[in-house]
Amino acid sequence: MLKSYQPTEFMLPTSRYCKEAADHAVAFIQDLPHIAGKWKGKKFELLAWQEQIIRDVFGILKPDGFRQFTTAYLEIPKKQGKSELGAAISLYLLCADFEQTAEIYGCAADRQQAKIVFNVAKKMVEMHPYLSRVVKIKESQYRLEYKATDSFYQVLSAESNTKHGFNIHGVIFDELHAQPNRKLYDVITTGSGDARDQPLYFTITTAGNDMNSIGYEVHCEAKDLIAGVRKDPTFYPVIFGANDDDDWTDPAVWEKTNPSLGITVPISKLFAQCEAAKGNASKENNFRQLRLNQWVASAVRWMPMDAWNKCSAVVDRAALKGRICYAGLDLASTQDTTALVLVFHPHESEENGLYYVLPFFWLPKDRILPSIERDHVRYDDWERAKILETTPGSVTDYSFVRKRINELAKEFQINEIAVDPHNARHLLQELESDGITVLEFRQGPISLSPPMKELMRFVFMEKIAHGGNPMMDWQMDNLTVVTDANENIRPVKGKKRSGRIDGVVSLIMALDRAILRQEEGPSVYDKGERGLLVLGC
């Protein structure tokens, strides 16, 4: 038994630790063989951190005798033995949990990933003198069958076409952070085990880099439970990860976050990878994500989000009424989001010298659900919060956008609207006919680089006030840059190609006009001499 074992702090006062139940699970797992490397053929001797988890999950019982925890979440860096642990748990649920007709599923983002835990379990069965006789392996179906209880273990992935009618006793969810959407997780975890007395949904994952994924959602839920912010007596959370303010180059931090360090992974590898990552943002983020289990966004994110968040001062729309402003408009395609951003340059009477940012977003009403699945963000929540406005139908109704822009032009004094001409020719002409000054703003590095660099400078000087709009925050977090030979930069989407950046592009264009007009003084357009001007390339 684990030396000085103490049940988890999440154990309810009404629950009890059953040593016999915990010993049974530990004994079964430790009778399984290691399948590779220098330990091949030897018994699976649980490490202290692994045994603690097994004893907590399988040994803590409610007054009715069933397990307290039905959900377990283990977040841990790579190469800590998580696949072996996942395979061992799946075999215990299949063969030793005394459940008749048990359905055990191994889930992952794609079939290749889902096969990893399955292949480990299959080899454990093949190398075990008893299990090799009583468990039937159907390798082509990625399925194990235990006839004594008429139970099976089956691989599923997000690619699976049949994900209905489950009667789940156990799930091993591998690398939840890589799920392309929330469909499989929701189907598997919502009501699928209601007919079982003690189903177990066990997620084992490393950190990811998509802050709008189901993986990050469950990560935050686990963090809240650990911090005591919320309570859920059925959820067992374990996270091995560095804090945001930890020094990622400190070996003491590595030891804290890698519980199998020196056993499954030598510390020399971390030293080598750390040295290679110094001075390289992409390698640093990979090291922090995979070795320190930190959730990091795009490996080459342009904007430091901590600096951007410091500029989230409240923007009082009513106080800006009638003020001169400059706009940027990015229409993207007819099925994507459209963004208009107003920038108000500092007023002479204001001592803070802030550029106020007021964004507006539109999306076709019928594209809400497909866009949620594609972009992994809750557009429906943003719509309810009036952060996003929907246009009728399945494509952007530009007449609706035109009407809203004209309404805003009455509320504020919009001197100019800089527009990406792609997809916008007809609307440009209509806005011109409405008496609004429209400038074509080419999307090349010569046009975009100067205002982007000014935006970064203003953010670090805290001369921007953007109000903390969550849709703009998300898009800023998506933004990466491409640099040409002359060190000109232009904005592009990051690794998550579904990430939107139209609001940021609109902000850059609007800021460019606000800065230039403030430097130049009154524009010729203020005197009624308007026309179409093409800017940059």
Q: What is the per-residue pLDDT across 130-162, written as a single tens digit (0 to 9) for each?
A: 999 999 999 999 999 999 999 999 998 876 645
Q: Is the confidence at residue 164, as pLDDT, over 80?
A: no
Same domain? 266 vs 331: no
Residue 244 falls inside a structural domain: no
Same domain? 404 vs 350: yes
pLDDT of residue 455: 95
Residue 466 falls inside a structural domain: yes
pLDDT of residue 524: 37
Domain count, the chain: 3
Of 14-18, 222-226, 261-265, 370-374, minimum mean pLDDT range: 370-374
Same domain? 260 vs 325: no
Same domain? 277 vs 204: no
Residue type, 327: A
Same domain? 478 vs 357: yes
Residue 477 falls inside a structural domain: yes
CATH number at residue 481: 3.30.420.240
Same domain? 230 vs 256: no
pLDDT of residue 518: 72
Residue 11 falls inside a structural domain: no
Residue 10 falls inside a structural domain: no
Q: Is the confidence at residue 509, as pLDDT, over 50?
A: yes
Q: In 239-295, which residue ranges form alpha helices assigned H by DSSP? A: 251-257, 267-277, 281-290
Q: Across all residues in the chain, what is the average pLDDT?
A: 88
Specify the higher pLDDT residue, 444 or 293: 293
Same domain? 349 vs 465: yes
Q: Is the confidence at residue 510, as pLDDT, over 90?
A: yes
Same domain? 530 vs 474: yes
Give the range of the structural domain holding residue 325, as residue numbers without chain letter.
Answer: 305-535
d(CA 405, CA 327): 10
Confidence of residue 525 (pLDDT cuts 50, 70, 90): very low
Classified as helix, coil or strand, 533 is strand
Cα–Cα nearest to 109, from 222, 21, 185, 202: 185
Specify the higher pLDDT residue, 99 or 532: 99
Domain C-terminal end among 211, 239, 267:
239
Task: Please write the tens of the pLDDT for every residue from 242-266.
Answer: 998 899 999 999 999 999 999 988 9
CATH number at residue 126: 3.40.50.300
Residue 180 falls inside a structural domain: yes
Cα–Cα nearest to 416, from 315, 355, 344, 502: 344
Token pair 């430097």 is at which residue? 519
Specify the higher pLDDT residue, 398 or 361: 361
DSSP 291: T
Mean pLDDT of 338-361: 88
Same domain? 351 vs 473: yes
Q: Is the confidence at residue 522, as pLDDT, over 50?
A: no
In the chain, pLDDT over 70 holds for what percent of residues? 90
Same domain? 156 vs 31: yes
Q: Is the confidence at residue 209, as pLDDT, over 80?
A: no
Confidence of residue 179 (pLDDT cuts 50, 70, 90): confident
pLDDT of residue 537: 47
d(CA 384, CA 391): 14
Q: Is the confidence at residue 300, as pLDDT, over 70?
A: no
Mean pLDDT of 348-359: 84
Same domain? 257 vs 382: no
C-alpha of 323 from chain center: 38
Same domain? 276 vs 311: no
In the chain, pLDDT over 90 holds for what percent of residues? 63
Of 73-82, 406-415, 509-518, minimum mean pLDDT range: 509-518
Residue 5 falls inside a structural domain: no
pLDDT of residue 490: 82
pLDDT of residue 456: 92
pLDDT of residue 485: 53
d(CA 84, CA 87): 5
Residue 41 falls inside a structural domain: yes
DSSP string, 202-215: EEEE---S-TTSHH
